[in-house]
Each structure stands twice: as C-alpha cells, then as structure tokens.
Amino acid sequence: MTFQRKHILGLEELTAEEITLVLDTAESMKEVSERDVKKVPALRGVTVCNLFYEPSTRTRSSFEIAEKRLSADVLNFTLSHSSVTKGETLLDTARNLEAMGAGVIVIRHPMSGAPWLLAKELDSSIINAGDGSHEHPSQALLDLFTIREIKGRIKGLKVVIVGDILHSRVARSNIWGLVKLGAEVRVVGPPTLIPKYIENAKVRTFYNLDDAIEGADVIIMLRIQMERQESVYFPSLREYSRFYGLTREKLKRASEDVTVMHPGPINRGIELSSDIADDAGSVILAQVSNGIAVRMAMFYLVASAGRNV
C-alpha cells in the first residue's frame, strides 16, 4: 500500500491501513535517533515551517528535531514574534511562508479547522500540530505507536481515556485511531466534561473511574487544562482529583500489566498521584522519544511521494 495524502490533518480521515503505515514507517525511523550521527538526507532541500499560534515547547521541539533529523531546513514562526501581533490574518501569514518556499507547514492554532483552511487554500503540505479542541494527530499517532510497542498489538485492548474529554484534542484523535485499529475504548470523566453524542464514536462512557478501569490494559490520563478552566466544569480541583485522579488503590482494578500514559506536562497530585507518576515515568519518556520517530514518519510520508515540495 502507498500513502497518497499530501496533508496529515486528523485521524478521523485516515484509514486503518494508513495509520498502520505511519506506525510501521516510524519504527524504521526510530533507529535513526539511536545512531552516532542522528541525521538522514531524506528531506534535504525541503523547507518546513512551524507556525505556532499557541504556546508549546515540547510539541514544537519534537517537530523541530524530527525535521532536522531528516535534513529539512527549518523556519520557526511563533505568535509572540510574528506579524500576527500586527493584525495579519492566518491565511496571509501562511501565503507569505509559502512564498518564502515552505514546502511543508506545521500548524498549531486555537481555532478548530484552521489546518483544513490552509490545506484548501495553499499548495504546501499541511501537518496539523493541534487545532482548538478538535484533533492532535501527531500525539495520537505517538500514543498508538507506544501502545503497540509495549503491548505488541492494539486490536482487542481495553483502553480507558480519563479526564476532560470535552476540550481534549488528544482524546478526540486517540478515539478515532484506537477505534479504527480495533481497541475497545472507554471514556470517563465528570458529566460536564464528556461531550454529548460521544457514543456515536463507538466508545463506552463512564462517570465512575473505578468502573471504567476494571480490566483496563491501557489508561490514558488527560491533562486538566488549568488555563481553560475559568468556567466552572467541576466544583474544585480537590474534588476532581478525588474522583478522577489515578492512585495506586484505584489502579488495582486494572489488568495486572496495565500501562499508564500521559501526554504531559503532568499536574502531580491532580491527574496522577505522585507515586503513579513516578511508576509511569518510563512510559511517559518513551512517549516523548517515540514522538520524534512518529513525526519523522509523518514528514517522510507527506514530503517524499514524488511531490514537488
């Protein structure tokens, strides 16, 4: 099978075969990061622009490392230094980057759908690095990659996603990917943070963490986004933590070799008790290094296939 897409915008539109191809390619890319010279010439001469309208250190750094390991020329465009603050529209900014020769544009934007607008209007390849509360494909792909690496498969696994499902683009992308690859997905959180009609996505909804965790193979903890919690979705952080924070006691209900994952940064003592955070540390760091391999695979697939980028 070949990858025919020019853009990677979300997991909703990828097929199971395409997702598997990204994961397989990432497996080959991982070896590059273990070499003395961590660089291959595959994207030599391609200019990649990272266009970030939201603050992000780790996702942007991970994309940047991936770009550099493939020998691309990297251009960083962040909100605070750019003409965005002078009132330029997204499309005008992106057209300027394209005029400077950007063959691939990586975009993070607070508005859902922004990457699709660029994909429609521009000739460059677009990679979505997170749009509003809609999709975050690279994070979901690296989560899938990490699960497959640890468990050897995805099909048939019981995967629980815990927390603020409503605002989480990580949850949305993960649900699409996990369901397509045959996992049994459960979501759990306070009723105010579970979106309506989520059953349409073929997941089971729980409001009680103990029930949701029963027999789980993988637990994906979502970050409580302090910056988005001005409005009242739950009475207090302490209460949230008591009901939905993961502790050793609660974890006993899960499968014996359960894997706990977190997209980072962790709020210790809120989503995860500190001892669980320490136990899960190695997996969380594996997620970070796998993120580079997965992003390299994404660039390789959109930039190589005979395209004039």
Partner 1 sequence: MAENVLMDSETIDRTIVRITSEILEKNKGAKELVVIGVRTRGVHIAERIVNRIEKLEGIRPPMGTLDITLYRDDLRRKTEWPKVEKTEIPFSVEEKEVILVDDVVYTGRTTRAALEEIMDFGRPSSIQLAAMVDRGHRELPIQPDYVGIKVNTLSSEEVRVHLKETDGNDGVIVLQG
Chain residues in the site for partner 1 (CB under 8 A)? 2-3, 24-25, 27-29, 31-32, 35-37, 39-42, 45-46, 70, 297, 300-301, 303-309
Q: Least distance from C-beta 59 to partner 1, angstroms?
A: 23
Q: Least distance from C-beta 48 to partner 1, angstroms?
A: 14
User: Considering beta carbons, is residue 15 or 208 the nearer one to partner 1?
Assistant: 15
Q: Least distance from C-beta 228 to partner 1, angstroms?
A: 38
Using only C-alpha atoms, the chain has a radius of gyration, in whole angstroms, of 19
Residue with tokens 């990457």: 115
User: Considering beta carbons, is residue 246 or 298 the nearer one to partner 1?
Assistant: 298
Q: Least distance from C-beta 107 to partner 1, angstroms?
A: 22
Q: Is the backbone peptide bond immediately before 137 cis, with ω within 30 degrees of 0? A: no
User: Considering beta carbons, is residue 25 or 128 the nearer one to partner 1?
Assistant: 25
3-class secondary structure, 131? strand
From CA 127, how far away is CA 104, in angstroms rounded?
Answer: 7
User: Considering beta carbons, is residue 282 or 308 the nearer one to partner 1?
Assistant: 308
User: Considering beta carbons, is residue 70 or 183 the nearer one to partner 1?
Assistant: 70
CA angle 64, 81, 302 (to 5 degrees): 30
From CA 222, how far away is CA 201, in angstroms rounded?
Answer: 18
User: Considering beta carbons, is residue 40 or 79 the nearer one to partner 1?
Assistant: 40
Q: Specify whether the CB–CB gap between 135 and 55 falls below 8 A.
A: no
Q: Specify whether the CB–CB gap between 159 and 221 falls below 8 A.
A: no
Within 10 Å of residue 252's Cβ, how many Cβ atoms?
A: 11
Q: Least distance from C-beta 104 to partner 1, angstroms?
A: 12
Q: Least distance from C-beta 4 to partner 1, angstroms?
A: 8
Structure token digits, residue 204: 């089971």
